[in-house]
Structure 1
């Protein structure tokens, strides 16, 4: 990544926090001083900050409010962010809310980000409201760009069904729509995200070309209401 940092955004349910965590672990396995910065003050269910200890085991430092404020559903951004952005030896991944409010949180750091250099990826799940069409995705991206005063530089196709297997049609539709959005904005489709089980299933039926830039992952984040184990009577942590 050099002096750049990676910004990841997307609407609720897009899988952007899943990608941010996975990418942090991948980068951290190669590069020292990797930081995952939780700037998502919008979504209380899937937040990078909830995986601080597990990330630490992988050598990833979390930048997020500390102690009692870590769990607060308040628009709090830690002052550590400015220091990290000014530290060009640090490898940064920013997890940001995918609407105008999320963009506004990012916008306070726009000057530092422009000086440092960044990649800004928007994660698309066509099975979510408001971003199920080319027009909806373009509107969402432009809203984030206006409020953040930064330009989205690439797309991630993560069309999924919340843990259910997707069809080849779902997957290819995601690619086609993202390519159309990319052409409209003159930005590339950088990754096609696929859960490992979907990748193994789809690769039997699709041409190899369909898996260009595929990002295979094992799903770790599940909604809180699915984490309760009746057998053990405890909450299950994601399986890292």
Structure 2
């Protein structure tokens, strides 16, 4: 999962990112609220972890913007000092899902993050078969069928298709897709992703006449939409 962490104390972002990276997440640290806000306008994240007291733009401001502009399911965990009881009340009232009191304890941080992610993205939990309409993805074998007919796909195409279906209707930034499908190999040429997207669209027939549309989002990334009517 792709997680943004906001805290003006670099030692805190280092600690949080160390714990999350070790658990297999992609962690993106920010020391400035304005910097995070600018990034949120261009990038997709699966979760936000924000310090409530940030000098330039408070955690409250970031949270209110996120709740207004981003997916209502986006999990938000905020961090506050031990004396911040008012912060806790304000944070939860503003729409945060959970909070942690500093100093941050590694085990508790990971447990809270994993719990929020499981609740926000139940379909991400690894199960043998995942079905979306006529499509059945077999996660363990990398096998994909449409209306019972196998579709020949590479592992990367399988991963990419599953990523789009798990995020149906949600625009995904190019950076998000790169990290999710190609992991740490983010040096791949830009056209490689476009080629894979084109193959997935063709092989799975993701066109309006078949009920889905896999379309580019200008200067951002791609989105898979389910057609209605």
TM-score, normalization by structure 2: 0.31
Bigger radius of gyration, 1 or 2? Answer: 2
TM-score, normalization by structure 1: 0.30
- Higher relative contact order, structure no. (Cα contacts within 8 Å, ≥ 6 residues apart): 1
